[in-house]
Chains A and B, each alone.
Chain A
């Protein structure tokens, strides 16, 4: 059974800092890994999808890396802004047979960017 851990659970930094969010997963037989952000009272917004054959994926100030063999992914946020404040969730996708391929989530990292 896939288990996902995200470290740190919470992070508060001043505006402008670069920061790294960590995600680890126990089963490396994944197809891809997706990073999401969740604002309070909202659904999940997809940030990046990184395929198992890729090492990195970039979108604007965000960069996600994936080390499938070691079961780790990191999300790098450059030049953080108050609008980046949210909970960040990583979710590896596995194929479990019979077409089952749901995402498994950790508890997320609650990020606060201080103005």
Chain B
């Protein structure tokens, strides 16, 4: 069974530029999450999708971050404009439904200079 796929693996941008990350969850998984992991910290939830609808974006900095999940499958997370403090690993995870195991992708490491 293929895992959660993310791209790119690494990205370096200058502050005030924009960047986008892509995630392809495990086939059939209705729930998709984006997490931000700053160095030395545990992952922090940014947004949760159920199929193609947002169910939790309470911790998403909406002035600069946006995310979408078209057709309830792939998802993209965008940052515009980026700040230095956005340097982190962005992780995508999916699960079939509530109470089941969540699976994570390899993450995208973003460096903002």
Question: Considering the chains assembled together, what is the distance between the CA atoms of A41 and B111 in angstroms?
Answer: 13
| Highest count of chain B CB atoms <10 Å: which of A91, A101, A108 | A101
In the complex, chain A residues whose CB is within 8 Å of the CB of B48: 99-102
B42 touches A106 (CB 8 A): yes
How many chain B residues sit at the interface, stated as a range, is 20 to 34
Interchain pairs with CB closer than 8 A, number: 68
In the complex, chain B residues whose CB is within 8 Å of the CB of A4: 42
Cross-interface CB contact of A44 among B31, B56, B104, cutoff 8 Å? B104
| Highest count of chain A CB atoms <10 Å: which of B31, B42, B43, B109 | B42
B55 touches A100 (CB 8 A): yes
A51 touches B99 (CB 8 A): yes
A103 touches B98 (CB 8 A): no
Question: Considering the chains assembled together, what is the distance between the CA atoms of A34 and B33 in angstroms?
Answer: 15
Is A76's CB within 8 Å of the partner chain B?
no
Is A107's CB within 8 Å of the partner chain B?
yes
Is A49's CB within 8 Å of the partner chain B?
yes
Q: A43-B91, A89-B42 are in contact. Are A103 and B56 (CB under 8 A)?
A: no
Question: Considering the chains assembled together, what is the distance between the CA atoms of A103 and B105 in angstroms?
Answer: 15
Question: Considering the chains assembled together, what is the distance between the CA atoms of A108 and B31 in angstroms?
Answer: 24
In the complex, chain A residues whose CB is within 8 Å of the CB of B99: 31-32, 51, 93
A99 touches B105 (CB 8 A): no
How many chain A residues sit at the interface, stated as a range, is 20 to 34
| Highest count of chain B CB atoms <10 Å: which of A4, A93, A106 | A93
Question: Considering the chains assembled together, what is the distance between the CA atoms of A45 and B103 in angstroms?
Answer: 7
Besides A34-B101, A45-B104, A96-B56, 7 other CB < 8 A contacts?
A: A4-B42, A36-B104, A42-B106, A43-B104, A44-B91, A101-B31, A103-B45
- B contact set with A: CB distance below 8 Å: 4, 6, 31, 33, 40-45, 48, 50, 55-56, 58, 91, 93, 98-107, 109
